[in-house]
């Protein structure tokens, strides 16, 4: 009989004697502050005086809740069939984007880099880009290559249009392969800016190459009735949910940018670089749809301007539809755009979720919450909280704009549950830490990056948004639609109930809640 193999987790492993000695030796070598000094500094960082200093800083950012533009561009590229994301810049940047997405989705993220080094920084990266395009075609056989940039290429002013044209002239890449490109400097904007720039570039490039003229509402050549955009969407389950809703309407549609296949691929024993995605041939035809419905608006502003301007198409844009009222607007918008009646099965599903909300309302009413996320997600979360009686207290949006802030404040002002809310744009998670400590709340909702501030403030964290690194498979569950409202409700109320059990003193350790 084989001996049992003991594999300690890292919490247990690092408490063993060799590691304890190693840490003590490291501390002695580094000559750190005394325990008393450390305790005093920690206590001061939790004071109101420190909070005021924290919010007064202007030249330092500590843990902003946003990622770089090229990361969003990479996600946009993976929304189209047989498309290879090509990042013009350093190899290390590309590794960061790939690992960031892979840690969230628990899936490999295919992308290549022009691998610029010191020579490229001085003389420009044209040769790197041309060689990279040629190698990419030879090795990975893409049908489209989507090029974005990092800081290095942007700082030295590399001209992507000219470089790609030179690559075609030299025969490194044929004229048959579309090469949309987007300038995505990491020192401005965020991941949603990069997503928007790349999505617009892909749609415009494929449309121009087709040579067709947009005839909105004709459905010519496809019979498609509706275009749908989900935007920078970290939940593959949301793609499945919108398909379920559209299937209930029995309407034709095209999802413009469907990366769910690449980030939720099956384990069959064989790996492919390309899974699913919007068909390239369907993009020009999408200009003939009745209209375009976007489930995000702040993350696809340029794209929607292009569709309404160049395609001359009706667009309906909303922030992430979380909860009953937001989903009602989503369903009504589909009905208005397509001219189809609302399916009875969706009405029935709505009723079941409303019933669930009523069941849980006593535990949600009056709970105070802090929210962190991207603009569209936060608008959805604010509306969801208000409709179930949860009071948003602190809201931090690192990549928010004034338009977002005004919309958020208007939503909050329309409800008695929003009376105490403060909305902070451009602030970071170190600001949120001060807010949580100075004015405590019952719950925090945000990505995995919020866990450190939440732990310091002893606040339970409900993980919603991007990125979620320290929990598995949450991205597979939808948060939009009526089913998504039920999923959010279940997560939030059960976190509250778990807290009641943990805080019970014996006589109130109830069997039924």
Closest CA to 366 of 423, 439, 445, 442: 442
Active site residue 155: yes
C-beta separation of 506 from 265 below 8 A: no
> In the numeric block, which tokens belong to residue 338?
């397509």
Measured CA to CA, the distance from residue 412 to residue 393 in angstroms comes to 10
The catalytic residue among 33, 62, 155, 347 is 155
Per-residue DSSP letter, 417: G
> In the numeric block, which tokens belong to residue 145?
């290559």
Structure-derived torsion over alpha carbons of residues 263, 269, 270, 274, reported in degrees to the nearest 10: -10
C-beta separation of 212 from 453 below 8 A: no
Helix, strand or coil, per DSSP, at residue 289: coil
Measured CA to CA, the distance from residue 115 to residue 490 in angstroms comes to 45
Measured CA to CA, the distance from residue 122 to residue 185 in angstroms comes to 18
Measured CA to CA, the distance from residue 207 to residue 282 in angstroms comes to 10
> Any idea which residue has 């949603």 for tokens?
192
Measured CA to CA, the distance from residue 136 to residue 85 in angstroms comes to 10
C-beta separation of 240 from 260 below 8 A: yes
Measured CA to CA, the distance from residue 13 to residue 70 in angstroms comes to 37
- In a 10 Å sphere around its CB, with 0-12 CB exposed, 13-18 middle and 19+ buried, how is residue 311 labelled? buried
β-partners of residue 368 are: 391
> In the numeric block, which tokens belong to residue 442?
């019952």
Closest CA to 69 of 87, 55, 57: 87
Give the chain's end-to-end CA distance (angstroms, integer): 47
Active site residue 68: no
> In the numeric block, which tokens belong to residue 205?
């490039």
Give the chain's radius of gyration (CA, Å).
Answer: 25
The catalytic residue among 151, 255, 300, 385 is 151
Helix, strand or coil, per DSSP, at residue 477: coil
Closest CA to 422 of 434, 412, 414, 407: 412
Strand ordering across the sheet containing 253-255: 253-255, 226-229, 291-294, 314-317
Enzyme catalytic residues = 151, 155
């Amino acid at each position: 009989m084989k001996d049992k193999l003991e594999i300690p987790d890292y919490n247990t492993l690092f408490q063993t004697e060799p590691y304890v000695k190693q840490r003590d030796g490291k501390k002695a070598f580094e000559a750190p502050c005394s325990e008393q000094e450390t305790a005093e500094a920690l206590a001061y960082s939790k004071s109101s005086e420190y909070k005021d200093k924290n919010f007064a800083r202007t030249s330092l950012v500590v843990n902003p809740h946003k990622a770089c533009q090229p990361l969003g561009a990479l996600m946009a590229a993976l929304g189209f069939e047989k498309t290879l994301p090509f990042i013009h810049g350093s190899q290390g940047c590309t590794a960061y984007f790939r690992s960031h997405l892979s840690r969230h989705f628990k899936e490999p993220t295919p992308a290549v880099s022009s691998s610029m080094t010191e020579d490229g920084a001085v003389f420009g990266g044209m040769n790197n880009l041309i060689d990279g395009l040629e190698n990419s075609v030879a090795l990975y056989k893409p049908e489209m290559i989507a090029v974005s940039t990092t800081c290095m290429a942007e700082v030295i002013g590399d001209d992507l249009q000219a470089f790609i044209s030179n690559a075609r002239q030299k025969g490194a890449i044929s004229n048959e392969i579309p090469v949309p490109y987007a300038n995505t400097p990491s020192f401005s904007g965020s991941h949603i800016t990069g997503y928007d720039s790349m999505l617009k570039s892909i749609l415009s490039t494929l449309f121009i190459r087709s040579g067709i003229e947009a005839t909105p509402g004709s459905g010519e050549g496809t019979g498609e009735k509706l275009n749908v955009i989900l935007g920078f969407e970290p939940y593959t389950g949301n793609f499945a949910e919108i398909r379920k809703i559209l299937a209930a309407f029995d309407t034709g549609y095209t999802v413009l940018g469907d990366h769910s296949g690449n980030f939720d691929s099956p384990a069959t024993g064989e790996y492919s670089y390309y899974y699913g995605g919007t068909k390239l041939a369907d993009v020009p035809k999408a200009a003939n749809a009745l209209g375009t419905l976007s489930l995000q608006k702040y993350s696809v502003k340029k794209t929607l301007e292009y569709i309404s301007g160049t395609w001359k198409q009706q667009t309906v844009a909303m922030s992430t539809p979380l909860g009953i009222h937001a989903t009602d607007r989503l369903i009504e918008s589909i009905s208005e755009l397509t001219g189809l009646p609302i399916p009875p099965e969706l009405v029935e599903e709505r009723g079941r979720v409303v019933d669930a909300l009523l069941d849980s309302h006593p535990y949600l009413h009056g709970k105070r919450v802090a929210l962190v996320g991207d603009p569209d997600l936060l608008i959805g979360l604010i509306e969801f909280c208000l409709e179930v009686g949860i009071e948003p207290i602190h809201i931090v949006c690192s990549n928010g704009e004034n338009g977002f802030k005004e919309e958020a404040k208007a939503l909050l002002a329309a409800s008695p549950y929003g009376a105490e809310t403060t909305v902070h744009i451009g602030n970071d998670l170190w600001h949120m830490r001060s807010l949580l400590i100075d004015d405590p709340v019952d719950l925090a909702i945000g990505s995995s990056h919020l866990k450190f501030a939440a732990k310091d403030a002893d606040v339970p964290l409900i993980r919603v948004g991007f990125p979620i690194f320290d929990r598995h498979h949450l991205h597979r569950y939808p948060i939009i639609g009526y089913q998504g409202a039920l999923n959010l409700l279940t997560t939030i109320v059960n976190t509250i109930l778990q807290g009641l059990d943990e805080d019970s003193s014996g006589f109130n350790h109830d069997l039924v809640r």
